[in-house]
Amino acid sequence: MRPTVHDIAAKAGVSLATVDRVLNDRPGVRAVTRAKVEAAIAALGYVRDVAAANLAKSRVYPLVFILPEGDNPFMRGLEAEVRRAGLHSAAERTRLSVTTVPAFDGAALVGAIDAAIAGGVAGIAAVAVDAPEVSAAIARVQEAGIPFVTLVSDLAGSGRDHFVGVDNIAAGRTAGSLMGRFLGARPGPVAVLAGSMRVRDHGERLEGFLAAMSAMPQARAVLPVLEGQDDPGRSHALIADCLANVPDLAGIYSLGAGNRGLIEALSAGGRGDLCVIVHELTAETRAALQEGLIDVVLNQDAGHEVRSAIRVLRAKADGLPVNAGQERIRLDIFIKDNLPAGPDEEN
Amino acid sequence: MRPTVHDIAAKAGVSLATVDRVLNDRPGVRAVTRAKVEAAIAALGYVRDVAAANLAKSRVYPLVFILPEGDNPFMRGLEAEVRRAGLHSAAERTRLSVTTVPAFDGAALVGAIDAAIAGGVAGIAAVAVDAPEVSAAIARVQEAGIPFVTLVSDLAGSGRDHFVGVDNIAAGRTAGSLMGRFLGARPGPVAVLAGSMRVRDHGERLEGFLAAMSAMPQARAVLPVLEGQDDPGRSHALIADCLANVPDLAGIYSLGAGNRGLIEALSAGGRGDLCVIVHELTAETRAALQEGLIDVVLNQDAGHEVRSAIRVLRAKADGLPVNAGQERIRLDIFIKDNLPAGPDEEN
DNA sequence: CTGTTAGCGCATTCAG
DNA sequence: CTGAATGCGCTAACAG
Which domains are delineated in chain A? 5-48 (1.10.260.40), 61-165+302-329 (3.40.50.2300), 168-299 (3.40.50.2300)
Please say whether the beta carbons of A261 and A233 come within 8 A: yes
**Cβ neighbours for A117, distance < 8 A, ≥ 6 positions apart:** A140, A141, A144, A146
| CA distances to A37, A154, A239, B60 from A70, in Å | 56, 20, 21, 48
Instruction: Check residue A326 and give its pLDDT.
Output: 79
**Cβ neighbours for B38, distance < 8 A, ≥ 6 positions apart:** B22
H helices of chain A, in order, are 5-12, 16-23, 31-44, 50-57, 73-89, 106-118, 132-143, 168-183, 200-214, 232-245, 259-269, 283-291, 302-317, 324-327
CB contact under 8 A, A170 and B338: yes
Please say whether the beta carbons of A113 and A124 come within 8 A: yes
Round to whole Å and give the CA distance between A259 and A267: 12
Chain A residues with CB inside 8 Å of B307's CB?
326
Any bridge partners for residue A63, and if so which?
Answer: A96, A123
User: Which nucleotides in chain D lie closer than 7 A to a protein CB?
Assistant: 1-14
Between B124 and A26, the more confident residue is B124
B17 CA, D15 C1': Å apart:
13
Round to whole Å and give the CA distance between B295 and B190: 14
Write the pLDDT tens digit of every residue in A291-325: 999 999 999 999 999 999 999 998 888 777 888 87
Instruction: Check residue A280 and give its pLDDT.
Output: 96
CB contact under 8 A, A307 and B326: yes
- With 0-12 CB in 10 A as exposed, 13-18 as middle and 19+ as buried, what is A260? buried
A48 C-beta less than 7 Å away from strand C: yes
| CA distances to A129, A197, A262, A275, A302 from A203, in Å | 12, 6, 19, 21, 20
pTM: 0.85
Q: Which nucleotide is nearest to B30 (CA to C1')?
A: C1
| CA distances to A5, A13, A15, A53 from A10, in Å | 9, 5, 8, 20
Instruction: Check residue B346 and give its pLDDT.
Output: 39
Nearest to A64 by CA among A101, A96, A87: A96
Chain B residues with CB inside 8 Å of A323's CB?
346
A41 CA, C5 C1': Å apart:
32
| CA distances to A6, A8, A29 from A34, in Å | 16, 12, 6
Round to whole Å and give the CA distance between A236 and A231: 8
- With 0-12 CB in 10 A as exposed, 13-18 as middle and 19+ as buried, what is A6? exposed
* DSSP H/E element including A65: strand A61-68
Looking at residues A126-134, what average pLDDT do you find? 94
Q: Is B35 left (phi over 0), alpha (psi -120 to 50) or beta?
A: alpha
Please say whether the beta carbons of B281 and B98 come within 8 A: no
Chain B residues with CB inside 8 Å of A303's CB?
325-326
Query: Mutation test of the interface with chain A: which of B333, B344, B345, B346, choosing the one with the most A Cβ atoms within 10 A?
Result: B333
Instruction: Check residue A344 and give its pLDDT.
Output: 45
Round to whole Å and give the CA distance between B63 and B127: 14
Write the pLDDT tens digit of every residue in A221-249: 999 999 999 999 999 999 999 999 999 99
B22 CA, C2 C1': Å apart:
12
B11 C-beta less than 7 Å away from strand C: no
The nearest CA of chain A is from the CA of B137 a distance in Å of 31
A 10 A CB-CB count for A81 gives: 22
Chain B residues with CB inside 8 Å of A50's CB?
91
CB contact under 8 A, B178 and A335: yes
Instruction: Give the residue on B whose Cα is nearest the Cα of A59.
Output: B1
Q: How many helices (H) and strands (E) does chain B have?
A: 14, 11
CB contact under 8 A, A326 and B346: yes
Instruction: Check residue A346 and give its pLDDT.
Output: 39
Chain A residues with CB inside 8 Å of B208's CB?
337
A136 CA, D9 C1': Å apart:
42
Instruction: Give the residue on A whose Cα is nearest the Cα of B347.
Output: A325
H helices of A246-319, in order, are 259-269, 283-291, 302-317
The nearest CA of chain A is from the CA of B24 a distance in Å of 17
B58 CA, D13 C1': Å apart:
15
Round to whole Å and give the CA distance between A295 and A290: 9
Looking at residues A80-85, what average pLDDT do you find? 92
A 10 A CB-CB count for A41 gives: 21
Write the pLDDT tens digit of every residue in B3-45: 899 999 988 899 888 999 998 888 888 889 988 888 898 898 8
Instruction: Give the residue on A whose Cα is nearest the Cα of B337.
Output: A174
Q: Measured between CB atoms, which of A52, A174, A335 is closest to B335?
A: A174
CB contact under 8 A, A326 and B335: no
Q: Measured between CB atoms, which of A167, A333, A347 is closest to B325?
A: A347
Q: Which nucleotide is nearest to B28 (CA to C1')?
A: C1
Q: How many residues does chain A have?
A: 347
Q: Is the pLDDT of residue A347 over 60?
A: no
Chain A residues with CB inside 8 Å of B342's CB?
325
The pLDDT confidence band at residue A342, using thresholds 50, 70 and 90, is low
Nearest to B329 by CA among B64, B149, B128, B176: B149
CB contact under 8 A, A178 and B90: no
The pLDDT confidence band at residue A256, using thresholds 50, 70 and 90, is very high
Task: Considering any atom of strand D, list protein residues whose CB lies within 7 Å.
Answer: A 13-18, 21, 27-30, 32-34, 52, 55-56, 58; B 1, 4-6, 16-17, 20, 23-24, 46, 48-49, 52-53, 55-57, 59
Q: Measured between CB atoms, which of A91, A328, A341 is closest to B340?
A: A328
Instruction: Check residue B285 and give its pLDDT.
Output: 96
Round to whole Å and give the CA distance between B16 and A294: 59
Q: Which of residues 10-29 of A touch strand C (CB under 7 A)?
A: 16-17, 20-21, 23-24
Cα–chain center distance at A181: 28
CB contact under 8 A, B337 and A177: yes
Round to whole Å and give the CA distance between A117 and A113: 6
Q: Measured between CB atoms, which of A174, A182, A303 is closest to B337?
A: A174
The pLDDT confidence band at residue A169, using thresholds 50, 70 and 90, is very high
- Average pLDDT, consecutive stretches of 10 residues, N- to C-terminus, chain B (347 residues): 87 90 87 89 87 84 94 93 82 85 95 94 94 96 94 92 96 97 93 91 96 93 94 95 95 94 91 92 95 96 94 86 84 93 49
CB contact under 8 A, A50 and B91: yes
B38 CA, D15 C1': Å apart:
26
A50 CA, C9 C1': Å apart:
9
Q: Which nucleotide is nearest to A31 (CA to C1')?
A: D1
Tell me A157's DSSP state.
T
B24 CA, D14 C1': Å apart:
19
Q: Within a 13 Å sphere around the CA of A347, how many CA atoms are in the beta-carbon half?
A: 8
Q: Is the pLDDT of residue A149 over 80?
A: yes
Instruction: Give the residue on A whose Cα is nearest the Cα of B212.
Output: A337
**Cβ neighbours for B266, distance < 8 A, ≥ 6 positions apart:** B239, B243, B274, B276, B288, B293, B294
